[in-house]
Structure 1
């Protein structure tokens, strides 16, 4: 299976939700009351309501709704006999005026609740006692490193029912040995590795009667001269990776030295000067530090991530029935369920992020339309049974006993289990608010939903902080063609029958910096996602918004129809809840080129900024400032897949020009099995060109596809701006990977901007004739489809299609060329056979060639055999 590239993996949930909302004319039934106060009578216009100043007529429900312009309009002092109980309850937070509706307010932090209360699940409650703690977990629970490595720890606490507990006080941290120094306050601790030691319990945390520990291994501080010590660890569990092959390669990419890591994940290899330093393990993505100064950085820590499609699993079950404070009696319910994303989204496969796709039937008008949706999406009518969904998860630590798992530590070290935060977004989109052209060809559902959701008060977030699951070998993985649609999800989704959610009750706007360009055109759409960063779990989405950039196409996003100001995006989010209170918020703003170019290239530039917290600003009067600028997209990227010099590049040489503000470049090769090879280099080295090392004998070359010999893997190049790294003072990849450096595991936390270009894999496919043995008339036209390749012999084009004729009479070695597509953007060319060519079993060989007519390396071709009477 060939993974489908997705331009905006961080914001994928919005796309699904809008597809679900794209149903056509379906009768809508009146809403029920939001709060305990019933709605007014049926109505046709506002004047039918008891008091047009306090009610409005909802045209979707034909019922009177409590109306407001300010918060005071929701209070009893203003409403008199039409007071709303939910807005004037004793000790409650009251109501907000949200989209001209009176809705119950939600707290976002303890500071919103006063000295004697805390904010939990969006409500002000008494602080939970630490005596309720029944169990706890420290993350990371295993640390391996050299003296001087600083580690941030987090403790998660659960009560006797296994529910998340966030105590305000009563957390005690203790160092159990001289191997660490440091301390903690509240749920967080910071320790520095000190005295060398074998693995042992080094840090203890106690909350009430619950206690948990973190195990630590501290390596010797001594590294023999003349070489480099390389520690290889699992990026998502902290466990050492034994039996990894550490290789030193010279400037030509040839192996100069190699060594296998021991039980602690460490190996010493001889190396001097600038070398390429690589770690290879069949279960993990390969990693190469290009042009590493082995004389300066002699102690290195490499963090590898498991092959994302070797094992697959997660949770599945009926979509949770969220009890929403703004529920509707009978309306179109939409939802999406997924798991938290650890690290950079580009480090995941689309399947691991979205789940296997499935085709569903949606009612449109009086008929049905079929669309393909990820497995976590759901669509149903209120009162009907919610459909089953499945959310995939990434390997990690087994935080609790699981069926079929005898040894949790062994399962963790073999990638057979994981623990993530499961999230669900669900709500109702009134059909009257949906664009009539929502399902027209060319419409962007992600963009449509990003515009609609911030104006809706009916979406709810539900979370399950500590969801553990197993993963099993993916069907077809042994043949290099993983089929995730056939994978089983062994664990049930963790939400209860009636899950209490928190409303997306904080609308605000984000000021978007000037948008970058790709191939001379400004990126034409922007997506903003509000998330919470959960240590050991990853990013959890809490809200979103979107804006286009087409009227006009300039550096600013288009003016919002409601706000009327260009350069801002409206967002709506929920506060952190269900045990995630107190964790930092992150704002992710991505600009995209949208529809992929003819050559399959996808351009994205993303900012990740700290978000102080949810804010209620429905009119967008105080936009959130990202405080950053987008990086320009790497446009000039070249790689010679061949081992011999070709096209002005040495064998296996990579070149890329990136934004001067970038501090790190990542080139990722991904084959059809989802297995990767990541090359890290600094921007200057990328511009000069580096040679990707040749793998040692017996090691799979992941720049190619094993399933299809001679086929190149997909290539993606990322320019990252990483805090603490400055290539101008020698702080590039080597500094990131230093034994006591910032840490490759923390790359996502340190990155505030990333610009990505994903290059397509050149492919050629016959359209006509469709099958071998087809009969053609003499001089007839044939048609070939091209993808992942820019047709054209002028600057900007990558080449043309050559069709070579073999066999028959008057055909042998006759070559036809085409460089212009039959229609813009279609990637199809048409060629006319010579009238003199005839015969049975004539071979038509379609090959992609460069502008000079030389075949691409490796060869990209496809053959048809036809009869020409």
Structure 2
């Protein structure tokens, strides 16, 4: 294995910024971002040996000055440094210093146990524990619960002071069951209660913190379910509110509907069903959800959690990217950062625009040898790059709808707004820091870059990055422009709320450690080409909040191990840097996500992710105690295929889904997505997929979301996931059915239960004419025509999926049809050209390109494109 490839994104930025600012003084001062001791000497140097004490100083070649440094933690202590002592490292009230990247930096706590017994760890520092008397308001999550007797629910309380800032008292929380409808108790910020006696909606669980109190609304359904059918509760996965007026339909093995009922005000409907059936919940504002092969005779009380259509409404917070003030000179420093709002549930539940924000083009006026300009860099709306002595750019952070405090809403009923998906409360986060241009290699530029990969590499070797968190970020969402015609345009959305970070200085990413990444899986015969390690904290009711990052490529060579980092020199090991939980998230569980990612030439995206709960961050920059995952990656479901047609085709029955999946998985999700982002998710037991599962035909009055548009002429995008979820088994009838059972582990908690997921976002087959570009164009006899094919692998099975069939109609001497004979395109991925028959000429000839399968039959629905041309 060779060392990690250079940073092409940063190299490009260096070219840009050098021409904008020139070279200035390098880093001087404290890199913690807070006032501290000077770390530089007036000694000029060329090498470390030029300094007065090479053991305590190193030569910063960028400034030719000696700067205070360390090689071990002992080098930071006063008894070792003598007259060069650093006061912050010997502060009796502090935690001392760590030797981080040869700099003595103040240590940061990660838990109360890191502090004295009379102190608490808050925002990375040991302080006096917050008093319950400081509490002015609180919020219980989940705020709304509907269920049957026996359902166990874990509640969490979030506390705020009089100024609305997060408060995390160490004690003083008193939980209480207000009625016989629930039983249970709580300790500290969390409580567990079990639904007991049936009751209509009422305040059933409360918590008292000082003078502040808050409660959760609970509805307990009757325990008895009428025989001969199934009671289905339909609820909003993000708020817990029941969903009335949803249609619950029963279908047979062929996908034909046999019964349907509409949910009432409490979100329930009883439908007649016996034996093995399909159960589907339909609502125009939510993604459809189908349970395939459900045993209606055994599991007769079911709860289905629907996810709101992700692009129907859009919004969030917007403003100038937060800047962490520091004592560094700024003339040659580049600030970089990425920010977002926490995303609840599985990432696949939301559109890509919600995770990092929609892509935008950032103009970069580059002038450098061999680099043309100007150039554009495509970045998510939450990413930012700017010179440290310039004004920070504006970023936009989209948010997912959920519960919200009605106090900040204008013109909305506080209860109606979350029911309609018009607002949300999430945690805003940002990872940001500074980089010296002198540290950036000016390597070759690449036409395509991965900003997240470059940032993950950069974080590994820099102690100058910080984490900022705003735990209770509220925002509104408005109908997305263009959604009414099925073409949502999220780039024109107005964001009504400002960025919430204020004057927060954040907490330094002061915990470097190493993760041992398991062998990477293969997709289409090639190992996945990169791996990300995301360090997070799980915030109940908010979602996962990133606190740190690491990344590695797998290109030199492409094999089962990630490339060796040049600092570690060990293949398959990724350096990570993270901050402790802060900003009111103290005490919540840490989760480590390790994802292997790769793209195929046909446009499909493959991802396999492992999740591990961490006891806490550790300081281990050399990777002496690498964090290992509990199991290997799940293999990818690349055999998955679906017949979009209404009739049997290519060995599949109408609307049939088949796949062979990793035997360790216990749940499969096939998710269709329309052009407007509206979903249809089918949950299936893995043991049934070899024989195939029929997706039901939609209930009357509902669009068929297996197609991209209501016209039903283009197939929808298909995303296939296989999951390994705790509390589920692969025993027949015990997997999916147990997840949705009334007293089961709760479907809305699937993300918390999952420790491994492998997914393939299949390419969307399209064929596009590149030449001729438009109708009516003149072509010379025997000239070449050029096309682009995406979402489809040209060639014979198993590597390919078929070919392009081109038909010539009209004109004289035209011989058609003719097909592509090439397995590998000649003009780049997905592009190729063919020569027309030399004798073909005439006015008004038509060229039609159609994608066909291995047997020569056209894909269904048809994937084709035509051009009318004049041939002379």
Relative to structure 1, the CA distance from residue 633 to residue 435 in structure 2 (aligned partners, 3 Å threshold; closer, same or farther) is farther
Task: Quote the Cα distance in structure 1 between the aligned partners of 2:791 and 2:504.
Answer: 45
Shift of 1:383: 3.0
Shift of 1:403: 4.0
Alignment of 1:255 onto 2:270? no
2:687 touches 2:732 (CA, 8 Å); kept in 1?
no
Shift of 1:652: 0.3
Give the corresponding residue for 2:85. Answer: 83
Alignment of 1:609 onto 2:612? yes
2:137 touches 2:159 (CA, 8 Å); kept in 1?
yes
Alignment of 1:565 onto 2:561? no
2:149 touches 2:198 (CA, 8 Å); kept in 1?
yes
Task: Quote the Cα distance in structure 2 between the aligned partners of 1:209 and 1:19.
Answer: 56
Relative to structure 1, the CA distance from residue 249 to residue 42 in structure 2 (aligned partners, 3 Å threshold; closer, same or farther) is farther
Task: Quote the Cα distance in structure 2 between the aligned partners of 1:365 and 1:92.
Answer: 48
Relative to structure 1, the CA distance from residue 96 to residue 400 in structure 2 (aligned partners, 3 Å threshold; closer, same or farther) is farther
Aligned partner (choices 556, 563, 588) of residue 561 of structure 2: 556
SS of the equivalent of 1:618 reads: coil
1:801 touches 1:819 (CA, 8 Å); kept in 2?
no
Task: Quote the Cα distance in structure 2 between the aligned partners of 1:320 and 1:185.
Answer: 36
Q: Aligned ranges for residues 444-843 of structure 1 at < 5 Å?
A: 444-496=450-502, 498-593=503-598, 596-706=599-709, 709-728=712-731, 730-811=733-814, 814-823=817-826, 826-843=829-846
Shift of 1:672: 1.1
Alignment of 1:437 onto 2:437? no
Relative to structure 1, the CA distance from residue 660 to residue 55 in structure 2 (aligned partners, 3 Å threshold; closer, same or farther) is same
Relative to structure 1, the CA distance from residue 252 to residue 707 in structure 2 (aligned partners, 3 Å threshold; closer, same or farther) is closer
SS of the equivalent of 1:77 reads: helix
2:335 touches 2:388 (CA, 8 Å); kept in 1?
yes
Relative to structure 1, the CA distance from residue 794 to residue 153 in structure 2 (aligned partners, 3 Å threshold; closer, same or farther) is closer
1:545 touches 1:572 (CA, 8 Å); kept in 2?
yes
Task: Quote the Cα distance in structure 1 between the aligned partners of 2:762 and 2:827.
Answer: 19
TM-score scaled by structure 2? 0.95
- For each residue in 1:502-524, what CA deviation from the matched residue of structure 2 results, as whole angstroms up to 9, or x when unmatched? 00000000111222222222222
Give the corresponding residue for 1:37. Answer: 37
2:471 touches 2:585 (CA, 8 Å); kept in 1?
yes
Q: Aligned ranges for residues 333-344 of structure 1 at < 5 Å?
A: 333-344=335-346
TM-score scaled by structure 1? 0.95
Relative to structure 1, the CA distance from residue 746 to residue 84 in structure 2 (aligned partners, 3 Å threshold; closer, same or farther) is same
- For each residue in 1:258-310, what CA deviation from the matched residue of structure 2 results, as whole angstroms up to 9, or x when unmatched? 00000000000000011110000000011000000000110000000000000
Shift of 1:402: 1.8
1:639 touches 1:653 (CA, 8 Å); kept in 2?
yes
Aligned partner (choices 158, 168, 171) of residue 169 of structure 1: 171
Q: Aligned ranges for residues 408-427 of structure 1 at < 5 Å?
A: 408-427=414-433
1:318 touches 1:388 (CA, 8 Å); kept in 2?
yes
- For each residue in 1:329-364, what CA deviation from the matched residue of structure 2 results, as whole angstroms up to 9, or x when unmatched? 651111122000101111110111122222112354
**Number of corresponding residues:** 853
- For each residue in 1:688-717, what CA deviation from the matched residue of structure 2 results, as whole angstroms up to 9, or x when unmatched? 200000001210100001166400001111
1:19 touches 1:445 (CA, 8 Å); kept in 2?
no
Task: Quote the Cα distance in structure 2 between the aligned partners of 1:68 and 1:266.
Answer: 65
Task: Quote the Cα distance in structure 1 between the aligned partners of 2:313 and 2:159.
Answer: 29
Task: Quote the Cα distance in structure 2 between the aligned partners of 1:353 and 1:448.
Answer: 18
Shift of 1:779: 1.4
Shift of 1:20: 6.5
- For each residue in 1:46-101, what CA deviation from the matched residue of structure 2 results, as whole angstroms up to 9, or x when unmatched? 34434222111222344332111111101111111111122112311111000111
Shift of 1:445: 4.1
- For each residue in 1:695-754, what CA deviation from the matched residue of structure 2 results, as whole angstroms up to 9, or x when unmatched? 012101000011664000011111100111111253211110101101111100000000
Give the corresponding residue for 1:237. Answer: 239
Task: Quote the Cα distance in structure 1 between the aligned partners of 2:521 and 2:93.
Answer: 49
Aligned partner (choices 95, 101, 104) of residue 103 of structure 2: 101
Relative to structure 1, the CA distance from residue 18 to residue 540 in structure 2 (aligned partners, 3 Å threshold; closer, same or farther) is farther
Give the corresponding residue for 1:406. Answer: 412
Shift of 1:554: 2.9
Q: Aligned ranges for residues 184-333 of structure 1 at < 5 Å?
A: 184-324=186-326, 331-333=333-335
Larger CA deviation: 659-668 vs 681-690? 681-690
Relative to structure 1, the CA distance from residue 182 to residue 845 in structure 2 (aligned partners, 3 Å threshold; closer, same or farther) is same
Relative to structure 1, the CA distance from residue 394 to residue 18 in structure 2 (aligned partners, 3 Å threshold; closer, same or farther) is farther
Larger CA deviation: 103-112 vs 364-373? 364-373
2:332 touches 2:437 (CA, 8 Å); kept in 1?
no
Task: Quote the Cα distance in structure 2 between the aligned partners of 1:355 and 1:224.
Answer: 47
SS of the equivalent of 1:805 reads: strand
Alignment of 1:148 onto 2:144? no
SS of the equivalent of 1:96 reads: strand
Relative to structure 1, the CA distance from residue 592 to residue 849 in structure 2 (aligned partners, 3 Å threshold; closer, same or farther) is same
2:726 touches 2:753 (CA, 8 Å); kept in 1?
yes
1:799 touches 1:819 (CA, 8 Å); kept in 2?
no
Q: Which runs of 5+ in 1 are unaligned?
A: 1-13
Give the corresponding residue for 1:11. Answer: none
Larger CA deviation: 600-609 vs 217-226? 600-609
- For each residue in 1:212-249, what CA deviation from the matched residue of structure 2 results, as whole angstroms up to 9, or x when unmatched? 00010000001000100000000010000000110000
Relative to structure 1, the CA distance from residue 690 to residue 16 in structure 2 (aligned partners, 3 Å threshold; closer, same or farther) is farther
1:314 touches 1:392 (CA, 8 Å); kept in 2?
yes
Task: Quote the Cα distance in structure 2 between the aligned partners of 1:61 and 1:423.
Answer: 34
- For each residue in 1:771-827, what CA deviation from the matched residue of structure 2 results, as whole angstroms up to 9, or x when unmatched? 111100111111111000010134321111111111222337544444434428521
Give the corresponding residue for 2:3. Answer: none
Larger CA deviation: 779-788 vs 50-59? 50-59
SS of the equivalent of 1:704 reads: coil
Give the corresponding residue for 1:9. Answer: none
Relative to structure 1, the CA distance from residue 516 to residue 191 in structure 2 (aligned partners, 3 Å threshold; closer, same or farther) is same
Task: Quote the Cα distance in structure 2 between the aligned partners of 1:529 and 1:701.
Answer: 36
Larger CA deviation: 321-330 vs 50-59? 321-330
Relative to structure 1, the CA distance from residue 169 to residue 816 in structure 2 (aligned partners, 3 Å threshold; closer, same or farther) is closer
SS of the equivalent of 2:348 reads: helix
1:240 touches 1:265 (CA, 8 Å); kept in 2?
yes
SS of the equivalent of 1:199 reads: strand
2:514 touches 2:623 (CA, 8 Å); kept in 1?
yes
SS of the equivalent of 2:687 reads: helix
Shift of 1:399: 2.6
SS of the equivalent of 1:449 reads: helix
